[in-house]
Amino acid sequence: MGLFGNAGDREDMAKVDTAWLRMERPTNLMMITGVMMFDTPLELDDLKQLLRERLLAYRRFRQKAVDTPAGAWWAHDEDFDLDWHVRLTALPGKAGKPELQRLVSQLASTPLDHSKPLWQFHLVERYGGGSALITRIHHCYADGIALVQVMLSLTDISAKPKKEEALHESWLKDDGQRVTERFFGPAIKQFDRAMAMGHKLLEKGVDLYKDPAAAAQLVHETQAIAQELAHAVSLSDDPPTVLKGPLGVSKRCAWAEPLDLDEVKAVSRAFCCTVNDVLLASACGALRAHLLEAGEDIDGLSIRATVPVNLRPREHARKLGNHFGLVFLDLPVGLDSPAERLCAVARNMDELKHSKQAMVAYGLLGALGMAPPGVQQGALEMLSRKASLVATNVPGPQQPLYLAGARIGEMMFWVPQTGGIGLGVSILSYNNEVHFGLIADSRRLPDPDAVIARFRLEFEKLLYIALMGDWDAPLDEAAGDCVLAGSAAKGG
């Protein structure tokens, strides 16, 4: 057997997955990190048995990622040992939220061992009245949407389910069906064209950094996509703030007390926009407050967030791999009025929904998966200069779940940032609550708790306006614009 296994054991890695594998840097590890907090204790033996039965049913999790100049592939790990991937740990001191956040931060800053399958579970035996489980999975295995599906496949709808009640078999039929509708929304029909466009650009040696107009000439048969490409690569760099700058190797993770989902929906109805608009506007307000406190001049300022957009066909709902594009969302941190910020976010999101920006990004990621390292690095740096943060929102089931008999009280996850981006905002809804998470490079934001605490305050401003009808004349006009912008996505 050779260094990388027999050729017959190999399975070629998809080009987009290869791109995520090769994006890893010491300053930005390409891991999706998650934490579940349980109301009751989770036993180590029960967890291992569950993983044997359900997680390892996915062949991919017994495979390691092999990357060489000749290409990347999946290879069966002949020395697979579940004990390496499932670790038992304990928190020091009071074993409370600060200690758990510190441990999650340390693990989010620690690379996975590339000689083994790139995933680990860390069971914290005692946390609160139960346990906590920290999960780390490399992004090359799957995107956040798919990994939420994987984690849901480990859960049940009762502590001791009957076989026919197993959530990993039946959840799509009930509450999960509504979740899936939001996951896999409208069908996307131009993946192949987007991928072909990206490959053609590389084959022709187009210099995307200096001549975006040349991209449009190469794909004259798809003018709208060509225009999106030219727009994406010609975007100005995001303005310099305390959120932009050199990165270190240490990450800081934090999460907020959850919001009531019904209250979030009430605000979205009042403003005639989506739940996602409301949550992103709340994050925008929290970042505004932080920038003001840091002494930044933010009058009229906007910063960009890269927002993952699911492009996974419905029939691939439960398959691994990466099937998403990215869009650049302007966050108007320079607007003082919470209502005006929400309206601006709703307008910006509505424009992006009607663009092909996500498909263009998907095609470029596939192309970068085949590109030489120098091209990959240059393109990554170019794209990361155009945004200050990553923002992602994943809807989960609105019912309590159990994992190996232990009830899940709260859960949160963080997606990796790429290139020089040092901040990530994660939003996850579960059991009629909305959970906010923040991951930050310690050089850019050493105390994310101070920012995450503002999310609720900013949301409560919008809730007050929605409930009290506290609109003055200028806001009335803004609200009208917001209604028009959000009408296509009403109902969130």
In order, the DSSP letters of 176-216 are HHHHHHHHH-S----HHHHHHHHHHHHHTT--TTT-HHHHH
Please count the other Cβ atoms lying within 10 Å of the Cβ belonging to residue 432: 13
State the Cα–Cα distance between residues 414 and 426, nearest whole angstrom.
6
Please give the pLDDT value at position 377: 61
User: Is 81 inside any structural domain?
Assistant: yes
Any domain includes 400: no
SS3 content of the chain, % helix, strand, coil (to 5): 45, 20, 35
Is residue 182 a contact partner of residue 276, using CB atoms and an 8 Å limit?
no
Helix (H) or strand (E) holding 403: strand 402-403
Do residues 303 and 389 lie in contact, with contact meaning Cβ atoms separated by under 8 Å? Answer: yes
Report the side by side order of strands in the sheet with 86-89. 86-89, 119-127, 130-138, 31-38, 406-414, 402-403, 155-156
The reply to whether 280 and 133 lie within a common domain is: no
Residue 178 placed within a domain: yes
Q: Which two tokens mark 404?
A: 């190996």
Which of these three, 136, 163, 184, is where a domain ends? 184
If you compute the radius of gyration of the chain from its CA atoms, what whole number of angstroms results?
22
Do both 115 and 63 map to the same domain?
A: yes
Other beta carbons less than 10 A from residue 414's beta carbon:
26
Residue 170 maps to which CATH number? 3.30.559.10
444 with 307, same domain: the answer is: yes
Contact present, 389 and 424 (Cβ < 8 Å): yes
Mean pLDDT by 10 residues, the chain (492 residues): 53 84 88 94 96 91 91 93 96 93 96 96 95 94 78 86 52 39 36 45 42 46 47 74 93 94 94 94 96 94 83 58 72 95 93 62 53 59 80 86 94 86 92 94 94 95 85 41 39 35
- Backbone φ, ψ for residue 25 (5° rounding): -135, 155
Alpha helices in 76-218 (DSSP H): 82-85, 97-108, 144-153, 167-170, 175-184, 191-203, 212-218
Task: Note whether 90 and 210 are same-domain residues.
Answer: no
Query: Do 95 and 56 reside in the same domain of the chain?
Result: yes
**Exposed, middle or buried: residue 2 (CB in 10 Å: 0-12, 13-18, 19+)?**
exposed
Residue 353 belongs to a domain: yes
Write out the H or E segment, with its range, that includes residue 305: strand 303-310
What is the reported pTM? 0.80
Residues 424 and 283 in one domain: yes
The amino acid at 110: T
* N residues, the chain: 492
Shared domain for 334 and 229, answered yes or no, is yes
CA distance 408 to 131: 9
Is residue 226 domain-shared with residue 325, that is, in the same domain?
A: yes
Question: Is 356 contained in some domain?
Answer: yes
Rounded Cα distance between 139 and 32, Å, is: 6
Residue 382 parent element (H or E): helix 373-384
Judge whether 388 lies within some domain.
yes
Say which CATH number the domain at 208 has.
3.30.559.30
Q: Does 408 fall in a domain?
A: no
Q: Please tell me the total count of domains within the chain.
A: 2
**What gap in Å lies between CA 468 and CA 402, rounded to an integer?**
39
Q: Which of 135, 162, 184 is the last residue of a domain?
A: 184
Looking at 160, 184, 208, which one is the last position of a domain? 184
Pairing of strands 31-38, 130-138: antiparallel
Residue 414 lies in a domain: no
Mind spelling out the 3-state secondary structure of 306-372?
EEEEECCCHHHCCCCECCEEEEEEEECCCCCCHHHHHHHHHHHHHHHHCCCHHHHHHHHHHHHCCCC
Residue 150 sits in the same domain as residue 212: no
160 & 234 share domain: no
Shared domain check, 174 and 195: no
For residue 389, the enclosing domain spans 191-395+419-489
SS3 256: coil
Map tokens 């990190």 to a residue.
33
Query: Are 217 and 166 in a shared domain?
Result: no
